[in-house]
Structure formats: C-alpha cells, structure tokens
Chains A and B, each alone.
Chain A
C-alpha cells in the first residue's frame, strides 16, 4: 500500500486550506434556529465553490475527488474551524443510499438541492419504543392512490425543527414474517399538514433534537427509496457508512487532538501525567486515521470494520474531552470562552457511544460478525 500523497493530493490540500482560510468564520451552533440558518448560507458558499461534496460526481455538485482526497478536505475543514455541517444527515447518510438504491430520477431530483442546502434533510428512524431494536418500529404507512399515508411518531430527529425533508423508515407490511422484512425507506416532505415537528433540548444545551408526528402524511410512490418492504436493506447499507466513515471523519479528531496538545502546553506543561495521557490520546487518534485510510484503500472489505471504527472514535472523543475537562479543573463547568467549547464538546461526546448504533450493539456486531461468536 502506498502511503505517500500524490502531487495532486498535496495540491488539493493546499487549495482547500487556502479557500477555507479565506472563508471560514464562526457561526452560531447549527443546532439552533439562528445557527441553522447561518449554516444554510455557509453550505451554499461551500457548494458554489465546489467544496460541499467533493467526492460526488460533478453533475451533482461535486468535483469527483477521490475518497482519500475527501479525507484530506475533512482534515483541512476541521483544522480551519469549519462549523458542523447542517447538511450532514442528507449528504452523509441519505446520499450514499440514493447513489446505491435511488432511481436516476430521484438522484436528479434530490442530490443537488441536498448538497446546496436548498433542501436540508433530517433522519426519522428511531421511535420512543424503537431505538436499538429499530426493526420493531411502529410508524406505519397504508397504501393510497399514487403513494402512501404515514401515521406514527419518530424521535431523536436531529435538527428536524428546521429541515425541509425527512429520510424516514416506516412499516409497510405489518404481516411480514420477521419485523425487519416489512419496512420501507421513504423521502417525506416536512411541509405538509400531516407532519408536526417539536424540537427539544439536548445535553449540550441546544434544541438540537426533535420529535416528528405523522398524521396521515403523504409520500408519493416516486419518493420511496429502494424496494417497497426493502427498507431494512437500504437502512443497513447506509448505517455502515454512517458508523464507519462519513459521519465522523478522522479530520475531526485530528483537530481535537491538536487543540488538546495546545491545551496541555498552555495548562500542564511539565506535568508528566498529562504528557503521557496526551501521548496515548494522540496515538489512538492516529490509529483511527490510519485505519480509515486502509479501509478506504480497500484493504478492509468487511462492513463490520465500520463497527470497529465507531467504537473507537466514540470512545476516543469521550476520553479526549474528559482529559480536557481535567486540565481545565474548576473552569470546566463554565459555559463561556475556551472552557465552554470544551464543556459543550464533552456533553456532545457523551452521545457518541449512543447514536449511530450504541456501542453495546456495535460490540455484539464485532463479536458475532467479525469473531464468529454465536448469536444465542
């Protein structure tokens, strides 16, 4: 495996770094109404300059960059202080599914507006009664002329309060032999009478979550993604990408590690315990970087490797923020300044082992699919 960047890769990095340096500016949190609106504007700027979805084909707003180049872009983006992407549920979760399962009409209809933040998507999978056991979900769709009418309730829908469309998983065949065989993936317009969204607060203080209530909401046949009753396969294909790669690229954690290094130099220089902790955290961040590179280079063909990645980065993020909080000492409970950034990051990091498939589920997957232990 060749681990050297090509001249093109290095030029790509330089170009990204320069553009970001000239354009990145602080925004309000994208999990607030004001910040979300600012985020849309930012995403449009990224899109117009060709940076929103670099690895997509140009016809959909990308620049046909390779996956390693996408990793480079992410490293530069996070290092430059780029804000979390309000389009992420669309571009990182739904888009791979559209590329894999979508019809040409659906791709034409949805991908460009998604990348340009003309339409921002939220995920509508989990329910109050169905989290880890997602296949048990009860939101149902009944057949009508030209489409489906959906009734039920979804929750943990990040940023759904301000989104335009929902990527939903609903039950279309209540009589299916196994629960997961009766589900369909649907792309639903939020702006219709049958959809009600109620935002609510998250641990880090932002109203980033939402419940979504469907009351006979309509979804046209043309907005079914993949086969009717084939939604589980669509969802599982995309959760591989969500967990492993696109949701949390190594660049994000490289940037956190660089900030940690500065924090240690500033607050604990000469402290051997802090030094050793930093050394360990840096090492574990590098593990994730390199494992991702190898996955992308095709060295790991196993979808279950995405479970390894998710376990690793989510645990890392908590440990890294725990360390930062320890370095801050009494200031760690402040919500302003540099301490506030770390404190909010700590709250957010705590969700990592929970979302995108809990770490308990991920360990089961590693044990059963990678190690071959019996399901039982």
Chain B
C-alpha cells in the first residue's frame, strides 16, 4: 500500500481550488440564485474535469474517480452551483463506455446531457440537449421536455422532466452503476459542504464574543463542532474507497458508494445543524452566507438517495451476499 495523494491528483485538486477561489466566491454563488449563472464551469471544463474519469483509450485523461473525488470535495466546499459533478462522474464516462456519438462532446463540454436519477427532478435540464434517465427498466435517453421547479436552494436549477419517446441505452446493471456513481459524486460534494459549514462556524466562534470571551471557548460549542467534524472526517475515506473500487472494476463499488452517500448525507446534515446553532440568529438570516451552504447540503443530502435508503442498500448487500466482506477482498 502506498501513502499519500500522488502528484497528479494533488495538482488537479490545487488547480480546481484555484479556479473556485477565483470564479466561485460566495458572492458568485449568491448571485447565481438570480442570474442562473454557472460560475467556474467554463474554466473547470477547460481544466479537463469532464475528461478526468474517462479512460485514456476512450479519449479521456484516465485519472479515474480517485482523482475526481477530491476535486468534487473542493467543489462542495465552494458550493459550486450546477451539475458539473454529475457530468464528470456519470455522463462522460458512461457515454464513452457505450461509444455514444455524444461521448466526445460530453468530455469537452460541447454537448450537455442532463440526468434524471429516477426522481423526475433534473438539474440544468434547460441547458441540455437531451436527458439520460435512470428508470426501472434501465438507462434511457430522451428529449428534454422540462418545466422549471422552484427550489429552496435557489442555486439548484431543477426541472420537472416528462418522459418522451425513450431510446434504450443500458440495462438494470448500467442503471445501478450510474446511480451509484451519481451518489458518490454527490457524497463528495456533501463532504466539502460540511467542511465549509464547520469552518465557517469555527471562525464565527473565534470572533464572536459574549460574556467577555469568544463563544468558541464554551464546551457546548466545541463539542458539537467536534462531533460535526468527526462525522465528515469519517465519511470521506468511504468516498475514496468507493472511487477506487469503481476505477478497478471491483464488485463492491456500488455498496461502498452507498456507504459513502449515507455517511456523507448524515455528516453534512449534522454539520449544518451544528453550524447553524453556533451562528445563532445570524445563521437564520438570508443576509449571511451560511444559508447558501445549508440549503445546498439539505438538497444534496437527499438527492441521489438519502441516508436511509443507502443504509438499506448496504443491509441488502450484506443479507444477499452481494458484498464481499473485507477479509476476503484483494483490496484493503
């Protein structure tokens, strides 16, 4: 076993963080509520984010989900609006794998394909040429017939999509694979969102004085932030493991993705509660930036399967023996 993120991964994450710092400030996130902009998207596409997890022999960078995952955590920290994470983790690799005519466009950003995870609520559908739908039968492609749905998080551009004449692109196992990848991509963002929520609360607790001292000196404040941080730190290794399994074609990939999404949903929810509580009334005001992260975490904790449904999936895998137990796998 080798230690540490490798040079390549580090470089990618650093580059993504730099773009986000420059193009996706809290002000940009806030502005996107009104102007429907997609801050940082063009620059991140130019960095190659969409091609990251596409294998080299399919024209991609071939660095895998293991490289994409930390970049998506960074995207979560910045509350990056838009479906770029799904485009990179689900759409581009899938279209490349099945040799779709839009594979190249999905990789270089020229073509946009929205994804319906099965809920009928599709992000950024109005910007897409067509919709990839995960259905009971499998994976189908269909035209975009969509109407905008108002959402609590104004940066989440959701559309209710009606089914048009479907074009079959894959079966049930493809659907399960894509759903698991989408869940993993969302889990990564949740880890990032949670981290930013805790660091915002920590910073507030350092500077906010009451009773003659920073409120961060009080154990009640310390302990809930410590517990929130703990949950996030323990969710993140599951995202790495799931990514590794996908990249290597290991059969445990979807179960680890379920674990990652469940743990990240739970951890980000806890982080949001703690962060809000520590901010006090300030956190309940729309003028403060906290609500931008809070609302995104609420949305993503339930998109692509909530914690309960994913814990159920883990239990099914244990019951049905579709999950190879740790001591019997070739990987750690």
Are B225 and A373 closer than 8 Å at their CB atoms?
yes
Measured in the bound complex, the distance between the Cα atoms of B222 and A282 in whole Å is 28
A137 within 8 A of B: no
Are A254 and B327 closer than 8 Å at their CB atoms?
yes
Measured in the bound complex, the distance between the Cα atoms of B237 and A38 in whole Å is 39
Interface centre among A265, A279, A282, A368 (most CB of B within 10 A): A279
Are A79 and B234 closer than 8 Å at their CB atoms?
no
B37 within 8 A of A: no
Stretch at the interface among B12-20, B95-103, B309-317: B309-317
Question: Which residues does chain A contribute within 8 Å of B241, judged by CB atoms?
Answer: 3, 286, 290
B50 within 8 A of A: no
Are B238 and A286 closer than 8 Å at their CB atoms?
yes
A291 within 8 A of B: yes
Are B312 and A279 closer than 8 Å at their CB atoms?
yes
Dominant secondary structure at the A interface = helix
Are A75 and B326 closer than 8 Å at their CB atoms?
yes
Interface centre among A258, A269, A363 (most CB of B within 10 A): A363
Are A275 and B316 closer than 8 Å at their CB atoms?
yes
Are B262 and A283 closer than 8 Å at their CB atoms?
yes
B229 within 8 A of A: yes
Measured in the bound complex, the distance between the Cα atoms of B199 and A367 in whole Å is 11
Are B332 and A68 closer than 8 Å at their CB atoms?
yes
Question: Interface code B252-289, partner A: CB below 8 Å = 1, 0 otherwise?
Answer: 00001001001100000000000000000000000000
CB distance from B2 to the nearest CB of A (A): 4
Number of interface residues of B (CB under 8 A): 55
Measured in the bound complex, the distance between the Cα atoms of B263 and A288 in whole Å is 12
Are B223 and A360 closer than 8 Å at their CB atoms?
yes
Q: A10, A286, A297, A364: which contacts B330 (Cβ < 8 A)? A: A10
Measured in the bound complex, the distance between the Cα atoms of B325 and A75 in whole Å is 12
Question: Which residues does chain A contribute within 8 Å of B31, judged by CB atoms?
Answer: none
CB distance from B220 to the nearest CB of A (A): 10
Question: Which residues does chain A contribute within 8 Å of B327, judged by CB atoms?
Answer: 13, 75-76, 79, 254
Measured in the bound complex, the distance between the Cα atoms of B205 and A363 in whole Å is 16
Q: A269, A280, A298, A367: which contacts B262 (Cβ < 8 A)? A: A280
A178 within 8 A of B: no
Question: Which residues does chain B contribute within 8 Å of A375, judged by CB atoms?
Answer: 217
Measured in the bound complex, the distance between the Cα atoms of B259 and A9 in whole Å is 25
Are A376 and B234 closer than 8 Å at their CB atoms?
no
Question: Which residues does chain B contribute within 8 Å of A68, judged by CB atoms?
Answer: 1, 332
Q: Within A1-48, which residues are at the interface with B (CB < 8 Å)?
A: 1-6, 9-10, 13
Q: Which B residues lie at the A interface, using CB under 8 A?
A: 1-6, 198-199, 202, 205-206, 213-214, 216-219, 221-223, 225-227, 229-230, 233-235, 237-238, 240-241, 244, 248, 256, 259, 262-263, 307-308, 310-316, 318-319, 325-327, 330-332
22 A-B residue pairs with Cβ-Cβ distance under 8 Å, sorted by A, are: A2-B2, A5-B1, A75-B326, A254-B327, A279-B310, A287-B237, A287-B238, A288-B234, A290-B237, A290-B241, A291-B234, A308-B229, A308-B233, A363-B222, A367-B223, A370-B226, A371-B226, A373-B217, A373-B225, A374-B217, A375-B217, A376-B213
Additional A-B contact list (14), CB under 8 Å, known A308-B230, A364-B226: A1-B2, A3-B240, A75-B327, A265-B319, A279-B315, A286-B238, A286-B256, A287-B234, A289-B326, A290-B241, A299-B3, A363-B223, A364-B222, A376-B216
